[in-house]
Structure 1
């Protein structure tokens, strides 16, 4: 699938949503500080575990559900790290992405890490530099800021992965 075709598939999925679309995910690290990422079959590049909120579902609940559905871990997520608004030029409508912190995985959880969702090709814990390089550019910027917010205790507001009006 070409990048253009993958973009068309994602655009069609998101474009069917009414109003502002909400997506949510989590920054999950292991003990050595590697970032957990998943590889969707329906588009190029890796992503954070997460996805679209269901009708009437709040972002925190959506992030927990998506992490469970994608990698089989029922994690009590932490605080909000980033709220990132993707402009309508990307998916055909505004998508608001919420990124939450997560507890550090145990060695056993990392050894058993796998993609359990059929829409995923795989899941991995990657060194930060490798994960950022494997993510689409806009997502990479979002994750880089989320990792900084995890360290500073702040929360950032982004538009297309770029900080607006505050920390980032």
Structure 2
């Protein structure tokens, strides 16, 4: 037993991402160069950054665009064995305009591609924990709500 009561506190890593849509209500998934599954634009917070600031920075770094980042769609407590405790924030990026889509310039050290997909197909396109989160985020986008999740599921 340690004399430091804070030693028992969770030290969660935090990440933030953005859910973008096209005119057909399909969602953007990116193809990372360093992962074996499709993901969304986003990444871990840096020291001193808020989740929204991290989301804005990651979108600029990965896609080369600076769209307005909207409201919080999902907060997900999603620890995993490899990385420990994690809290994930997913923001609404809204529908990208033709000009924004034409301005996308992928960082090749991060991404090799992106495509828009129907939410009904999401479970066959990415890993289960992300697919669950995206289904809830899509619903929150449509109904104007925000979802609190644990492991991608509502509690």
CA displacement, residues 89-144 of structure 1 (integer Å, 9 cap, x when unaligned): 3x331110000011311123334545225122212222333444212110000000
What's the Cα RMSD here? 1.8
CA displacement, residues 55-83 of structure 1 (integer Å, 9 cap, x when unaligned): 11110100111111111110111110000
Task: Tell me which residue corresponds to 2:127.
Answer: 136
Query: Relative to 1, partners in 2 of residues 1:115 and 1:131: Cα closer, same or farther, differing over 3 Å?
Result: farther
Larger-Rg structure: 2
Aligned length: 146
Task: Tell me which residue corresponds to 2:68.
Answer: 76
Structure 1: gaps of 5 or more residues: 1-17
Task: Tell me which residue corresponds to 2:50.
Answer: 58
Task: Tell me which residue corresponds to 2:29.
Answer: 37
**Structure 1 residue matching 2:57: 3-state secondary structure:** helix
Higher strand share: 2
Query: Relative to 1, partners in 2 of residues 1:104 and 1:97: Cα closer, same or farther, differing over 3 Å?
Result: same
Q: Counterparts of 1:65 and 1:117 in 2: how far apart (Å)? A: 16
* TM-score after normalising by structure 2: 0.85
Higher helix share: 1
Is the Cα–Cα contact under 8 Å of residues 17 and 89 in structure 2 kept in the other structure? yes
Structure 2: gaps of 5 or more residues: 1-9
